[in-house]
Structure 1
Amino acid sequence: MRGPLGAVIGRYPSSDGSTQVGGIIRHNRKCRDVAFLVIFIAFWVAMIVNSSFGFNKGNPLRLTYGLDYKGNVCGDRHAHPGLRELELTYWLNPNQVYLSGLKNSQFKLANARSICLLDCPIPSEDALNWVCDYPEGEIRLSVDDWIDRNYDYFEFLTPEMRNTSLQLQGPCYPVIFPSVNVYWRCQYVARASNVSMRHWQQMGGVNINEDIIIDKSIHRSINARSSVLKRYVADIEKSWPVLIVCGGLLPLFVSVIWLLLIRHFVAAMPWITVALFNILIIAVTMFYYLKAGWIGNDAISPIIGAHDPYYHVFGRELNHLRAAAVLMTFIMVVSILTSIAIVHRILMATSVLKVAAKVIGEVQALIIFPVMPYAILGIFYMFWFAAAFYLFSSGQTVQNNCNSNCCAYDLVSKRVNCDHCCGYSIHYTPHISIAIFFHLFGCYWATQFFIACSSTVIAGSVASYYWARGETSPEIPFLPVFSSMKQLIRYSLGSVALGSLVLSFVESVRFILESIRRKLKVANTTPESCMGRTAYHTSRFCFQCIEWIIRSVNRNAYIMIAITGKSFCRASAIATELIISNILRIGRVNVIGDVILYLGKLCVSLSSALFAFLMLDTHKYRSAHNKISSPLLPVLVCWALGYVVATLFFAVVEMSIDAIILSFCQDSEEHQGTAQYAPPLLMETLGDQNEMQRLTQ
């Protein structure tokens, strides 16, 4: 059994009537969980090394643009020749595209000859247009002149070159099919131009297949899962101004406003929070419906730029948006019903929030303190996102071994080359996947670490306030926030690193198991028996319960770390024992308050998502260079960033309530049910003496 904490965290009369002096917060501390602090430092070193690998091997242009027949990334100004404005991938040989679409064909679209262009070619109405290889060798044209000539220098070809061009071996290729810009790939429209086809046949060109397969082959490549994932990551890169405004600045502003309102209008804030939450979740759900095309005519389109309005291309991103709209509908209905169910308990939440409001009023530095971890996290996220873009695009460009007939005329060697004519691909090694997973885990651990540090500092500040009876005392530091921060940095960083690591590890395991579950579901290998399905779903529920318990224990452990200076495990044990022995009073007073605070954090994050939708709906992100494939992932990232920022600021209220209540329960336990150190502000909030006695029984 643990002894009383009075001598550790405060002063109270001893049995002989004398006063024990131990300081408001224990000062004779020592460093705890140092090994985990060393692990955390080593983790940061590994993060830097891992990011350096990405910066050296990655190229974010690969996330958006394709490769040409030389292995260059379209749009790369450092390529040879320079392709800064040539961002569209166009497949030159229509027969190769057709061959890649056949069911049992060994020829892949990645081996079809492709080139980077400024715009997608269209057939001429009265002649035959050509698209020729990059000018080199005997073709004395600059790239700019080549572009000005619409990529056509057929008239400069020698008879030999013209003959190979008519065999679809280059260096010039006919424009027979119209094409449209679909995610920076020129997708063929399987409607050959009669005029161009007639000119081609009159010149003696080889037969060109006109089957619809030529359309489906490119479409299948564009809609591949790997291509969709790359576009989603590229969407985040292109929408970085949205992330800064909606994921960083907006939640900062809204969170500070919420804290100020809770300070001055505490009675109205629960009602305002519930009402605002319902409005925001309905608005965000409606935006999903708009972008999914179920309301209005504003559905996302994979086609970039002007095009025939009768031509439609279906993208996988639209399916994802519709699935998100259905999910948001379900969440919206459940949330509204839940908010209605707790309406009659909001008055109880008001009394709880008064505790935090009064503490914030006394320790006013708590309102601005979260700006410090917010700034640190902001710098970390900028570095992390930059490294993530390079890691996701890392890999080595290698020429494929296609073993197919892909002969093409080489302007430099002046002959048809059949030996090294295969296309290029980005080769990904297994360690790249490990590096990406480590990077994702590192982001979550670092986020939890900084949130835990902020919570511990707030808990220490509030505990100082409580054990001083809410009065100004020379033993209470003038700036309790900075005093608590000093103790954290000097003694408890290892404990915080351990707590955040435990939570991150459990979350990662749950994510991996959930991924395995989805793969098994797709493979139809889920249990078929009733008992098997029961065990299957029960295990998921139990794991979620474990995660929730760890989150709750962590939060209370940080409070006891701030108060006692104990190690994480010891502080968790103390907090758990204290909670179990006072479960009724803590549950009765605190649960509804936590629900209101959770709704408040969702309000901040939903406002971030709503404004992200509005910003992404502007012309800048709907066309041309910065067009995003879907607002889904940028909005989700803004929602997540908004929630993290809200967690930092709302921790002021959460930790104030939890620290005050835990201190109050401990104070009551040590003094036979009568709290000796409860400040007048707390006594006033909880009611008269009879109410106090009822809570402590």
Structure 2
Amino acid sequence: MRWFAWIIVWVSLFGVLALLGFCCYITWTKYRETSNDEENVDAPANTAVKISWLIFFIASCIVLGVVLLLIIFLRNRIRIATALITEASRAVGSIMSTLFFPLVPWILQMGVIAWTIAVWLYIFSSAMPVYRARGLAETGGCSCQFYSPGDRCEVQEFNEKCQSTLEICPEVACAFKTYEGRSYSDYFHAINIIGFFWVLCFISAFSDMALAGTFSTWYWTFKKSDVPFLALTWSIGRTLRYHIGTLAFGSLILAICRLIRVTLEYIDAHLRKYDNGFVKCVMCCFKCFFWCLEKFIKFINRNAYIMCAIHGKNFCRSARKGFNLVMRNIIRVFVVDKVTDFLLLLGKLLITGGMVALAFYIFSNDVNVNEDDEYPEYTYYLLPVIIVGIGTYFVTCIFFSVYHMAVDTIFLCFLEDLERNDGSVEKPYYMSKNLLKILGKKNKKYKEQ
């Protein structure tokens, strides 16, 4: 697994360089072709095309140079990122139950969605029927002194008060008109929506902290063979016993931000019919701001849950500690985050692409499990292939979230390990020998006197 991570990282980096170099070659070739076109050399259109290819060539060369310089100057940090990804692979491999843990929050979230829909339907079904007086006249035999035409009525009371009118005029009745929602229904709908977002964020936060506690236990165990067999179970127990308030507070902040974003989308959908440029600009700015705010809150919450799992402090102290730790190592954080995202994206695309290719060959009848069996021909076999691709990518994202959490947790543990320890006998480093070698550090061995 270690060499696989190294190969993927460096092949990806050199692949990006090769792609940029190819872009430079193509744009330069096109520029030379348009420059050597003798028939249209002085044509205005040819001149514009030639200038465009020249601009593309210069831009490609600049991007290539910037990426090459970044790789050269950040090569050591890229090696650290690769080593951390390898450590995350070791952690997940040591505690295999973490791979199946995402099924638990997924089932809980499906239950929350079903419960919210059921509550929504129940609130709508709690509306009261409205009855109106029908067939009455202002004057004459079909009039009733207690009711005017169209007045609201109750069937039993109407029949008692207007009994004589009903006997003369059979078309008179207290008939059903419509359903009318209760006065408090809107408040119940609002509570239901807020609870929906809050509980979903809470379940996601619970999953993050349970995994963070598991992987931090793995990292801070000096001898990895001493990691508890039920590390994930113990982490879930600690989370439920000590950190429910932390999860509730952090998830509430994120839920409020997400609820504001949904509200803005709802308002924007109703304001589009007015076609006001100023309003569109303001709404776009608001949506962009709250999108960035939600991303920032997710980042803060994730680090806070990790630090809370390590130290057991409350949300605010953990968020501050995690944020300060990241800011002191901002370049390392940026490189590791981008390399990790790229590797996980490659893994997701590889698995999804393989399943799509397999589904394509099966549904297109290019592959038969048994040659004696006859398979029906599909009129549009791309539809099941698309469904398989979407489902595979969704399942892959669920399981790869474990790997992403492992990398984030081990990375923060690694940064704290560097600041807390110095490699002495009293304060040894907990990181792997590979990381120690990359950083040029080592643990001193205890010598008996």
Measured against the shorter chain, the TM-score band is: 0.5 to 0.7
Secondary structure of the residue aligned to 2:130 is strand
CA RMSD of aligned residues (A): 4.6
Secondary structure of the residue aligned to 2:412 is helix
Task: Find the aligned partners of 1:402 and 1:267 in 2 and give their Cα distance.
Answer: 82
Matched, 1:460 2:207: no
Task: Find the aligned partners of 1:539 and 1:355 in 2 and give their Cα distance.
Answer: 40
Which residue among 555, 561, 580 is the counterpart of 2:308?
561
Amino acid aligned to 1:553: I
Q: Which residue number corresponds to residue 365 of structure 2? A: none
Q: Which residue number corresponds to residue 513 of structure 1? A: 264
- Is this contact kept in 2: 1:352–1:593, CA < 8 A? no
Task: Find the aligned partners of 2:209 and 2:3 in 1 and give their Cα distance.
Answer: 25
Amino acid aligned to 2:256: F
Structure with the largest fraction of helix: 2
Q: C-alpha displacement at 1:444, in angstroms? A: 1.9
The answer for unaligned runs of 5 or more in structure 2 is 10-66, 72-77, 138-148, 151-165, 360-385, 442-449
Amino acid aligned to 1:653: Y
Which residue among 677, 685, 695 is the counterpart of 2:429?
677
User: Closer, same or farther in 2 for the Cα pair 1:579/1:541, shift >3 Å?
Assistant: same
Matched, 1:398 2:130: yes
Q: C-alpha displacement at 1:496, in angstroms? A: 0.7
Q: Which residue number corresponds to residue 480 of structure 1? A: 231
Secondary structure of the residue aligned to 1:426 is strand
Secondary structure of the residue aligned to 1:653 is helix
Q: C-alpha displacement at 1:555, in angstroms? A: 0.7
Matched, 1:428 2:166: no
Q: Which residue number corresponds to residue 324 of structure 2? A: 577
Q: C-alpha displacement at 1:573, in angstroms? A: 0.3
User: Closer, same or farther in 2 for the Cα pair 1:498/1:524, shift >3 Å?
Assistant: same
Task: Find the aligned partners of 1:403 and 1:672 in 2 and give their Cα distance.
Answer: 93
Q: Which residue number corresponds to residue 362 of structure 1? A: 94
Task: Find the aligned partners of 1:389 and 1:595 in 2 and give their Cα distance.
Answer: 43
Matched, 1:548 2:295: yes
Q: C-alpha displacement at 1:379, in angstroms? A: 4.0
Task: Find the aligned partners of 1:592 and 1:658 in 2 and give their Cα distance.
Answer: 12
Amino acid aligned to 1:670: R
Q: C-alpha displacement at 1:460, in angstroms? A: 1.0
Q: How many residues align?
A: 318
Task: Find the aligned partners of 2:297 and 2:333 in 1 and give their Cα distance.
Answer: 17
Bigger Cα displacement from structure 2, 509-518 vs 386-395: 386-395
Amino acid aligned to 2:181: Y
**1:169-188 equivalence runs, <5 A:** none
The answer for unaligned runs of 5 or more in structure 1 is 1-261, 271-341, 408-412, 612-634
TM score, norm. by length of structure 2? 0.58
Q: C-alpha displacement at 1:458, in angstroms? A: 0.9
- Is this contact kept in 2: 1:455–1:651, CA < 8 A? no
User: Closer, same or farther in 2 for the Cα pair 1:586/1:423, shift >3 Å?
Assistant: same
Task: Find the aligned partners of 1:428 and 1:489 in 2 and give their Cα distance.
Answer: 39
User: Closer, same or farther in 2 for the Cα pair 1:588/1:265, shift >3 Å?
Assistant: closer
Amino acid aligned to 1:571: S
- Is this contact kept in 1: 2:124–2:181, CA < 8 A? no
Q: Which residue number corresponds to residue 504 of structure 1? A: 255
- Is this contact kept in 2: 1:373–1:451, CA < 8 A? yes
User: Closer, same or farther in 2 for the Cα pair 1:398/1:605, shift >3 Å?
Assistant: farther
User: Closer, same or farther in 2 for the Cα pair 1:646/1:566, shift >3 Å?
Assistant: farther
- Is this contact kept in 2: 1:449–1:500, CA < 8 A? yes
**1:55-454 equivalence runs, <5 A:** 353-399=85-131, 417-420=170-173, 424-454=177-207
Task: Find the aligned partners of 1:534 and 1:361 in 2 and give their Cα distance.
Answer: 50
Q: C-alpha displacement at 1:601, in angstroms? A: 7.5
Q: C-alpha displacement at 1:471, in angstroms? A: 1.8
User: Closer, same or farther in 2 for the Cα pair 1:535/1:605, shift >3 Å?
Assistant: farther
Matched, 1:539 2:286: yes
Q: Which residue number corresponds to residue 58 of structure 1? A: none
Amino acid aligned to 1:540: K
Task: Find the aligned partners of 2:307 and 2:117 in 1 and give their Cα distance.
Answer: 34
Task: Find the aligned partners of 1:646 and 1:368 in 2 and give their Cα distance.
Answer: 12
Q: Which residue number corresponds to residue 614 of structure 1? A: none
Higher relative contact order (CA 8 A, sep 6+): 1
Q: C-alpha displacement at 1:597, in angstroms? A: 4.1
Q: C-alpha displacement at 1:452, in angstroms? A: 1.0
Amino acid aligned to 2:429: Y
Secondary structure of the residue aligned to 1:425 is strand
User: Closer, same or farther in 2 for the Cα pair 1:269/1:584, shift >3 Å?
Assistant: closer
Amino acid aligned to 2:420: E
Amino acid aligned to 1:548: K
User: Closer, same or farther in 2 for the Cα pair 1:534/1:457, shift >3 Å?
Assistant: same
Encode CA deviations 1:412-455: one digit per residue, 9 max, x unaligned: x7986444376532212453233223222212211211121111
Q: C-alpha displacement at 1:534, in angstroms? A: 5.4
Q: C-alpha displacement at 1:580, in angstroms? A: 0.6
TM score, norm. by length of structure 1? 0.39
Encode CA deviations 1:216-245: one digit per residue, 9 max, x unaligned: xxxxxxxxxxxxxxxxxxxxxxxxxxxxxx
Secondary structure of the residue aligned to 1:477 is coil
User: Closer, same or farther in 2 for the Cα pair 1:424/1:596, shift >3 Å?
Assistant: farther
User: Closer, same or farther in 2 for the Cα pair 1:503/1:419, shift >3 Å?
Assistant: same
Q: C-alpha displacement at 1:363, in angstroms? A: 1.9
Task: Find the aligned partners of 1:602 and 1:430 in 2 and give their Cα distance.
Answer: 51
User: Closer, same or farther in 2 for the Cα pair 1:438/1:491, shift >3 Å?
Assistant: same
Task: Find the aligned partners of 1:604 and 1:430 in 2 and give their Cα distance.
Answer: 52
Secondary structure of the residue aligned to 1:527 is helix
Which residue among 489, 495, 501 is the counterpart of 2:240?
489
Encode CA deviations 1:597-630: one digit per residue, 9 max, x unaligned: 47878999999xxx9xxxxxxxxxxxxxxxxxxx
Amino acid aligned to 1:502: I
Amino acid aligned to 2:87: V
Amino acid aligned to 1:568: F
